Amino acid sequence: MTRNNNFVATRMWLSRATVLALLAGSVAACQRSPDNRDVAVPPPPPPPSTRTVVITPAPQPAPTRTVVITPPPQPAPTRTVVISPAPQPAPTRTVVISPAPQPAPTTAAVPREPISDVVAITAAPNQQLLAGKRVQFTNVKVGSVVGDRTFWVGPNNTQQLFVVLSPPLDEGSAEDRIVVREGQTLDLTGVLKVMPNPQQAQKQWDLSDAEAQELNGEALYLETEDIRFKQG
């Protein structure tokens, strides 16, 4: 089958070649004269004259540049502000007032125990500091007798101390033996105590109103534990 195809293809190629050869011979015969002379074939007419047209491009306008002119900034309107100086206060003078120098506090001398002088008690600047101190008087004089258990002792009416007999000295046989009278000289031993208010003193020691009022302003009293009468 392959061989048949090749054979057919060959024949077709030969047929085409034959046709081309015949066409070429015909063309050559037409160009020759009957006497087999070469006939001059006139040259082809020249092509029409051509005109060279120079097309000049239209002038292009110069490129424009857009210039934006910004007006210069206008200065802000100025306001004239008149600043008047604030009124100055009158100059002040600082006056330093120093407190007057205070005298150094004096420490009251507390008598040593036992206290042996009525005046050391009555003249003390702060008699409250003597509360609880022991007392031992020798040859102290009785000023006045207030009640069965109470009396005043001291050198005079302005310097005297209130004395109260302790309960053991006012009970039983001691009550009958101890009788205090104005003007006697005594030896007393006891303890200083804080004076109660007149109302309490009146009730506690069975005093009259007048006797209780005499104690108003007194800070201390002596509660005596031992009493001895001196022969005068």
Report which DSSP code applies to 14: H
State the greatest distance between any 2 C-alpha atoms of the chain, in Å, as a whole number.
222
* Residue 41 tokens, joined: 């074939």
Low-confidence ranges of the chain (pLDDT < 70): 1-19, 21, 23-59, 61-64, 66-72, 75-87, 89-110, 232
DSSP 140: E
Domain ranges of the chain: 1-38, 118-229
The pLDDT, as a whole number, for residue 122 is 94
Q: What is the DSSP letter of 32?
A: B
Residue 117's contacts (CB-CB under 8 Å, 6 or more residues apart) are 111, 137
- pLDDT value of residue 188: 97
User: CB burial class (10 A; 0-12, 13-18, 19+) of residue 163?
Assistant: buried
Query: Which class in CATH covers the domain with range 118-229?
Result: mainly beta
Residue 111 is predicted with a pLDDT of 74
Q: Report the pLDDT value the prediction gives residue 48, as an integer from 0 to 100.
A: 57
Q: Hey, is 230 helix, strand or coil?
A: coil
The phi-psi region of residue 200 (left if phi > 0; otherwise alpha if psi is between -120 and 50; otherwise beta) is alpha
pLDDT at 12: 65
| pLDDT one-digit tens code per residue, 161-171 | 999 999 998 88
